[in-house]
């Protein structure tokens, strides 16, 4: 949450395709680290062993910390990809057309929800027919295979749209102009700690100004309303699944219920274009929030 603004700034400051590639590699690497840590925990736990003593062992604590840190890196890199592809690329490709933007967002949402439907069902099949050990090893191999696939097709998608190249060229031209302007100013030699302190102050002030600008933007209250839904609506995230598994719900049942949840989301992507045509974009959004 704290570093997501920094992730968005990476997209602004660096070559778009390169930052997406680096984020994909980071996501896969972090996922493999999490699977490795989970495997160590699974192999350390033997049938009949005391779970209390297991978690107080230094190795288990270290592996659990590794899994959590890997998850943090995974989420942050995922935010970077989301900002770059689902926000920047989609908006650029839509070329100021509201109809195209709505259609593209709908297709992206369908792809996202379809993956969220198939993935838990597939993992549930692995854990019920094989074992958690096999599932972790198999999914780690899937991550490695998908790395190559995603790197290739991300570049293919980028090359297919000249608008993305033009937007990148404009951004680089603006960065060069800014760099030249900065270079013409005289910079007195300062110690390293002073440079770091100045940079830190600059970033903090930038973040404050960004939040102040966002709070004065017309979309702020709408964003706040949508964000408030997360305080009142249960989500099938890792925490919720852990709670349900602690109450002995089976993997197959949880996967099925998640599937029903995602199907409802997919129906929403079908209803959205119909509602927009009948009601208009703003009214459709207001009705959906209610």
pLDDT tens column, 174-193:
777 766 766 666 556 667 77
Phi–psi pair at 99, nearest 5 degrees: -65, -45
Predicted confidence (pLDDT) at residue 235 exceeds the cutoff of 80: no
- In this predicted structure, the answer to whether residue 7 has a pLDDT above a threshold of 80 is yes
Percent of the chain's residues with pLDDT above 70: 92
Between 15 and 199, where is the model more confident? 15
Best-predicted range by mean pLDDT among 152-156, 200-204, 231-235? 152-156
pLDDT above 90 covers a percentage of the chain that reads 17
First-to-last alpha carbon distance for the chain, in angstroms, is: 26
Among the ranges given (18-32, 148-162, 218-232), the one the predictor scored with the smallest mean pLDDT: 218-232
Residue 45 pLDDT > 80, yes or no? no
User: What pLDDT is attached to residue 262?
Assistant: 79
Confidence at 55, pLDDT banded by 50, 70, 90: low
Given this model, what pLDDT does residue 184 score? 60
Residue scoring higher pLDDT (166 or 182): 166
Determine contact, residues 80/86, Cβ cutoff 8 Å: no
**pLDDT at residue 52 tops 60:** no
Decide if pLDDT at 284 tops 80.
yes
HEC letters along 123-168: HHHHHHHCCHHHHHHHHHHHHHHHHHHHHHHHHHHHHHCHHHHHHH
Asked if residue 30 lies in contact with residue 77, where contact means CB atoms within 8 angstroms, the answer is yes
Q: List own/partner pairs for 72-78 with CB under 8 A and 24 or more apart.
A: 73/26, 73/30, 74/26, 74/27, 74/30, 74/31, 74/34, 76/3, 76/4, 76/7, 77/7, 77/23, 77/24, 77/26, 77/27, 77/30, 78/23, 78/27
Question: What per-residue confidence (pLDDT) applies to 46?
Answer: 55
Task: Tell me what the pLDDT averaged over the chain comes to.
Answer: 83
What is the reported pTM?
0.74
77-135 pLDDT tens trace: 999 998 888 888 898 888 888 888 888 888 888 888 888 778 877 887 888 788 888 98
**In the prediction, which pLDDT does 25 show?**
94
């Amino acid at each position: 949450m704290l570093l997501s603004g920094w992730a968005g700034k990476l997209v602004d400051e660096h070559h778009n395709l390169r930052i997406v590639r680096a984020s994909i590699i980071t996501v896969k690497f972090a996922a493999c680290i999490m699977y490795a840590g989970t495997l160590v925990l699974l192999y350390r736990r033997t049938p009949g062993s005391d779970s209390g003593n297991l978690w107080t062992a230094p190795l288990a604590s270290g592996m659990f910390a590794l899994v959590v840190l890997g998850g943090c890196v995974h989420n942050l890199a995922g935010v970077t990809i989301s900002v770059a592809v689902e926000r920047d690329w989609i908006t650029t490709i839509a070329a100021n057309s509201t109809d195209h933007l709505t259609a593209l967002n709908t297709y992206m949402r369908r792809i996202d929800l379809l993956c969220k439907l198939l993935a838990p069902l597939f993992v549930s099949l692995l854990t019920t027919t094989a074992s958690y050990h096999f599932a972790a090893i198999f999914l780690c191999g899937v991550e490695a295979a998908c790395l190559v696939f995603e790197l290739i097709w991300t570049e293919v998608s980028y090359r297919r749209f000249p608008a993305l190249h033009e937007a990148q060229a404009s951004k680089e031209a603006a960065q060069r102009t800014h760099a030249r302007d900065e270079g013409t100013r005289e910079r007195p030699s300062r110690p390293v700690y002073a440079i770091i302190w100045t940079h830190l102050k600059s970033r903090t002030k930038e973040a404050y100004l960004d939040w102040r600008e966002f709070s004065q933007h017309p979309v702020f209250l709408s964003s706040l309303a949508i964000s408030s839904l997360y305080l009142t609506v249960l989500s099938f995230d890792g925490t919720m699944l852990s709670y349900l598994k602690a109450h002995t719900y089976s993997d197959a049942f949880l996967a099925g219920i998640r599937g029903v949840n995602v199907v409802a989301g997919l129906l929403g992507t079908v209803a959205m274009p119909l509602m927009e045509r009948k009601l208009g974009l703003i009214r459709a959004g207001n009705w959906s929030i209610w």
